[in-house]
């Protein structure tokens, strides 16, 4: 099953992190990665500064061949960087394994990467390659691409789903609650007791479906 993962890397361990030495308050976001014959060329945004010479804010780094300014929109700057193919970093692990980069955002504290693999073993292979390259990544989130809600909705009856969605949207599950079962019943045209039954049975079905998937032994 397709799997998405989020992990973090110390800011200084990614070449574009050199901008934080001069502009610690900015945010850097990769826009896309384009595989080329001998280099990966990502476009990225630097946000949160009015510096005119944004290219000059990046100090030299062995992982970078060239940084080129593309355009600016107020305090947001679009740039393109050509990476040195012989420098091993997170992008090396990405291009060598079967994972796709969904998003990458850097701050003065850390870089956060979100990736996707066709199967969970792709994520494991990526982690293994990072360890081989001595890249200190920390996994913070791992989940199947298919949302849990999809399986949950399949387990619910139409009336249970209607009651649960309305209860959620109206704030019944907030603390303190923003509506009562009587309020929800008024909207649905049913009694308070009927609302309680639909919510209870619906929640039970969702938990049953979700926990079964989580605890089922791998094959």
Mean pLDDT, residues 162-182: 90
Q: Name which residue leads in pLDDT, 46 or 51.
A: 46
Residue percentage of the chain with pLDDT more than 70: 86
Q: Are 136 and 104 in contact (CB under 8 A)?
A: no
For residues 90 and 108, the answer to whether their CB atoms sit within 8 Å is no
Q: Identify which of 109, 103, 79 has the alpha carbon closest to the alpha carbon of residue 90.
A: 103
Q: Is the pLDDT of residue 53 over 80?
A: yes
Higher pLDDT, 143 or 194: 194
Secondary structure element (H or E) that encloses residue 64, with its range: strand 64-73
User: Is residue 141 over pLDDT 50?
Assistant: yes
Indicate the pLDDT class of residue 111, thresholds 50, 70 and 90. very high
What is the pLDDT at residue 155? 65
Task: Give the gyration radius of the chain's Cα atoms.
Answer: 24
What's the whole-number average pLDDT of the chain?
A: 84
3-state secondary structure 14-30: CHHHHHHHCCCCCEEEE
pLDDT at 218: 47
pLDDT, residue 180, reads: 93
Q: Which two tokens stand for residue 141?
A: 């989130």
Q: What is the pLDDT of residue 212?
A: 55
Q: What is the mean pLDDT of residues 133-142?
A: 89
pLDDT score, position 132? 92
Record the pTM: 0.63
CA distance 200 to 158: 14
């Amino acid at each position: 099953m397709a799997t998405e993962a989020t992990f973090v890397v110390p800011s200084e361990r990614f070449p574009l992190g050199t901008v934080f030495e001069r502009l610690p308050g900015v945010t850097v976001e990769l826009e896309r990665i384009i595989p080329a014959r001998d280099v990966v060329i990502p476009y990225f945004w630097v946000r949160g500064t009015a510096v005119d010479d944004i290219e000059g804010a990046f100090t030299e780094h062995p992982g970078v061949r060239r940084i080129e300014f593309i355009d600016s929109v107020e305090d947001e700057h679009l740039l393109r960087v050509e990476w040195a193919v012989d420098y091993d970093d997170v992008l090396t692990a990405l291009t060598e394994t079967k994972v796709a980069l969904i998003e990458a955002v850097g701050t003065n504290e850390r870089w956060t990467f979100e990736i996707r693999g066709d199967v969970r073993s792709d994520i494991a292979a990526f982690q293994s390659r990072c360890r081989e390259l001595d890249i200190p990544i920390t996994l913070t989130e791992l989940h199947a691409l298919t949302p849990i809600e999809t399986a949950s909705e399949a387990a619910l009856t139409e009336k249970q789903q209607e009651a649960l969605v309305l209860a959620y949207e109206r704030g019944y599950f907030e603390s303190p609650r923003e509506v009562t079962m009587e309020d929800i019943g008024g909207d649905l045209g049913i009694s308070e007791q009927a609302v309680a039954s639909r919510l209870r049975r619906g929640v039970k079905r969702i938990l049953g479906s979700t926990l079964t998937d989580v605890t089922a032994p791998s094959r």
